[in-house]
Structure 1
Amino acid sequence: MVKEVVRGGAAREEMEVVTSATTTTVAPALPTQEHRLPLSNLDLLLPPLEVSVFFCYLHPAPSAAALKEALANVLVAYYPLAGEVVVNGDGEPELLCSGRGVDFTEASAPVAELRELRIGMVDERVEMLVPAKKAGVMSVQVTEFKCGGAVVGCTFDHRICDAYSFNMFLVSWAATARGHGGGGPATSNAPSFFRRSLVAPRDPPPPSAPSTEALIDRLFAPLSSAPPPLAAAAASVNRIYRIAAADIAALQASAGPGRTKLEAFTAHLWRLCSRAASPRSRSCCMGVVVDGRSRLFADGAMSNYFGNEACCLLFFKKIPYGVLGSEDLRRKTLADVADDVHRWVVEAATGEHFRGLVDWVEARRPKPAAARAYLGGTGGRDAAVCIVSSGMGFPVREADFGTGPPAFASYHFPWPAGAGYVMPMPSARGDGDWVVYVHVAPELAKVMEDDSAVFRALESTYVFG
């Protein structure tokens, strides 16, 4: 089967991957008492965005029937994922825990082998293996191949849960499928839903230090006073690359002592952005998504946090960023740029800044706000913008639904924004390699591909052996 695909104004033909599909709804195995849960203040900083993940399993792959049974059981504990997003009287989104269920699609593919898929070229075929979420909070699609392999894809509403929370769900779902807990509804791995005191705004909020207020105002802005959002890049491409463990280590060594792998990677990508920037983009804005769980409670109190009695699945992120001129970036060494990255990440990665942000949003509700990094930061609308979000906590090896861990797994996040998005995560091989999902302008993808010493093509032999 052939279909015509139009992206960025150009049409091309490509093979259809999915030929037949049926969709049912999987509800929690036990009834859910209907109630509403408002989102947290930090959740309200997010526009409606959908994030997907997908796992590739060689023969024997987990069956759709086994996945559906385990899903029904685990949704007893993770019942918010079986709910719906609605609008309250103030015009803000909130979660209706209705027990509606999760849309579950069973599909088949005409290609005989998973190896026929060019996983790295996401736009060609892979995006058809993740479900489009039409209703509810989450959707699942299982695509079976003639070789006995399968791809399990999930799409979820990012306002309702972040990657950390969704990873908790994935691990519990897989454990339930493997039979842990006696085969009944999963409860032993349930997250601690109801602890609103952990994230409630302070009443009254204490006086903030001038430096804290200045930093929050620099990182976030009410949409009414912010510049217009960057126009979506119509020609953005989705790719997946790999980086060898040795190359990651070399980057970290070049970045200088005390720098993390992610800081070194971000610095390297920032320099590549300067090479890809158009003449109009005289500056490059680089943002990093920072997880606030450990910053708010160093004792690990939020390590199993998924929501609370009036605040469900929390997007606990903050996006510090830096802006440098393209020429300055080209002249700087990797170590110099890594120093810049380290400085502005550390500046924002404190518990006081996260608590201050919760109070900041509360003082402005119901007016919406957004991270300035998405809007070009201080570089304005002509800045080249890229956001890095670490997926190194992705539980690839734990996504074993009873037939073994996946041969490959990745996020898929083609967000409708002008900023680029890059997410490194561990390879399913477990050897220290990274796989890197990117949603960027073609010019940056070309520069990354030319940088073969770091970003390498994702060959089928690497993925499936």
Structure 2
Amino acid sequence: MALQVTEFGCGGIAIGLCISHKVCDGTTIASFLKAWSQKAMGEASSSPLNMEASFLFPHKGIEIDINDRLGEKNITTKRFLFSGNSLCKLKEEISRGCGFKPTRVEAVTTLIWKSALEAARTTELSDKSSSFLLHVVNIRGRMQPPLPENSLGNLFVPSISPLFEVDKETKMELQDLVEVVRNTIKMVDGNYVRKLQGDGQELMETLEPMSQKFYLVAKKGVPCYGFSSWVRFGFYETNFGWGKPTWVCTIGVPIKNVIILMPACSGDGGLEAWITLNELHMCQF
């Protein structure tokens, strides 16, 4: 872990934090910051980081190599801001044609995925475009019984949609995609996590569809748009004694088609989306 404190001439302070992803995920970082800030304020801290997960998920020798996605050229990252008011309008627009009201994360995911697909197919020559949607799902609350949120580790599952294909002439609607988004996230439930904890054939049968999709992405070049929501991490509640943060942000992830969702600093329920795309696609996006 690395920490950096920067003091500015105006009196402002910035705290930078970096932890190896081999050790923990974003939820663990949020728990660490919460406990640290409570200690700094002299408050009774939450319980220390829970180490139980390492016993529930012993190492099984299964590895997924993502190094081929690192170091990509001709990509760029931009930050997009969605106000709370615009998100309410977006949710209402989507709900009129799909039979349910999406969450703000589902709504923004749907809009970004649709826009990215349209941007990609305006620059490609093929008659049909296809892609996967991937959403990172925190499994702590989905286990049976649930694990506490302060459990240390990489306790998430990359949930991947079925292959989504559309003809170049077909007009995509938000309602066409939002059900795919919701079903992809909801696929990770207590039964799914139980299978991941198992061994042998049941575990391999659970992982096989994911492995096949990763193969299509890595070897066949099928685009995969990966989303990770940090919206509920509570970063804006972190107070070391001089008030809550003015702004909390991540950094650009140097991997194509990766989107990180952060809460907006306005506190009105808005979101920031940090989006990394191919440079040509980003112009159209």
TM-score computed with the length of structure 2 as normaliser: 0.81
Deviations 1:271-311 (A, max 9, x none): 112222141673222211112112113x6x4124424xxxx
Counterparts of residues 454-465 of structure 1 (less than 5 Å): none
Shift of 1:373: 9.0
Q: Which amino acid aligns with 2:237?
A: E
**CA distance 1:411–1:384, change in 2 (3 Å):** same
Check if 1:351 corresponds to 2:198.
Answer: no
Contact 1:414 1:439 in 2 (8 A): yes
Shift of 1:363: 9.0
Shift of 1:328: 6.3
Instruction: Tell me which structure has the larger Cα radius of gyration.
Output: 1
Q: Which amino acid aligns with 1:154?
A: L
Shift of 1:329: 9.3
* Distance in 2 separating the partners of 1:275 and 1:386: 13
Q: Secondary structure at the match of 2:245?
A: coil
**CA distance 1:280–1:356, change in 2 (3 Å):** farther
Contact 1:375 1:381 in 2 (8 A): no
Contact 1:319 1:373 in 2 (8 A): no
Aligned counterpart in structure 2 of residue 302 of structure 1, from 137, 142, 147:
147
Shift of 1:387: 0.4
Deviations 1:21-78 (A, max 9, x none): xxxxxxxxxxxxxxxxxxxxxxxxxxxxxxxxxxxxxxxxxxxxxxxxxxxxxxxxxx
Which residue is equivalent to 1:279?
124
Task: State the structure with bigger RCO (CA 8 A, min sep 6), 1 or 2.
Answer: 2
Deviations 1:80-128 (A, max 9, x none): xxxxxxxxxxxxxxxxxxxxxxxxxxxxxxxxxxxxxxxxxxxxxxxxx
Shift of 1:361: 8.4
Check if 1:432 corresponds to 2:269.
Answer: yes
Q: Secondary structure at the match of 2:106?
A: helix
Q: Which amino acid aligns with 2:107?
A: A
* Distance in 2 separating the partners of 1:375 and 1:267: 21
* Distance in 2 separating the partners of 1:362 and 1:154: 40
Check if 1:189 corresponds to 2:29.
Answer: no
Which residue is equivalent to 2:280?
443
* Distance in 2 separating the partners of 1:437 and 1:193: 31
Check if 1:244 corresponds to 2:83.
Answer: yes
Shift of 1:438: 2.0
Shift of 1:254: 2.2
Counterparts of residues 64-75 of structure 1 (less than 5 Å): none
Contact 1:280 1:382 in 2 (8 A): no
Which residue is equivalent to 1:270?
113
Which residue is equivalent to 1:385?
224
Shift of 1:195: 5.7
Q: Which amino acid aligns with 2:182?
A: H
Give aligned pairs, total: 274
Check if 1:141 corresponds to 2:8.
Answer: no
Higher strand share: 1
Shift of 1:167: 0.5
Segments of 5+ residues of structure 2 without an aligned counterpart are: none
* Distance in 1 separating the partners of 2:93 and 2:199: 38
Shift of 1:156: 1.0
* Distance in 2 separating the partners of 1:227 and 1:434: 28
Shift of 1:370: 11
Segments of 5+ residues of structure 1 without an aligned counterpart are: 1-137, 182-186, 203-220, 308-312, 449-465
Contact 1:237 1:441 in 2 (8 A): yes
Shift of 1:389: 0.8
Contact 1:241 1:437 in 2 (8 A): yes
Check if 1:291 corresponds to 2:138.
Answer: yes
Counterparts of residues 80-95 of structure 1 (less than 5 Å): none
Q: Secondary structure at the match of 1:445?
A: helix
Q: Which amino acid aligns with 1:162?
A: D
* Distance in 1 separating the partners of 2:213 and 2:234: 27
Higher helix share: 2
Shift of 1:349: 1.6
Deviations 1:372-393 (A, max 9, x none): 5984757963323210111111
Contact 1:323 1:377 in 2 (8 A): no
* Distance in 1 separating the partners of 2:212 and 2:77: 20
Counterparts of residues 10-159 of structure 1 (less than 5 Å): 138-159=1-22
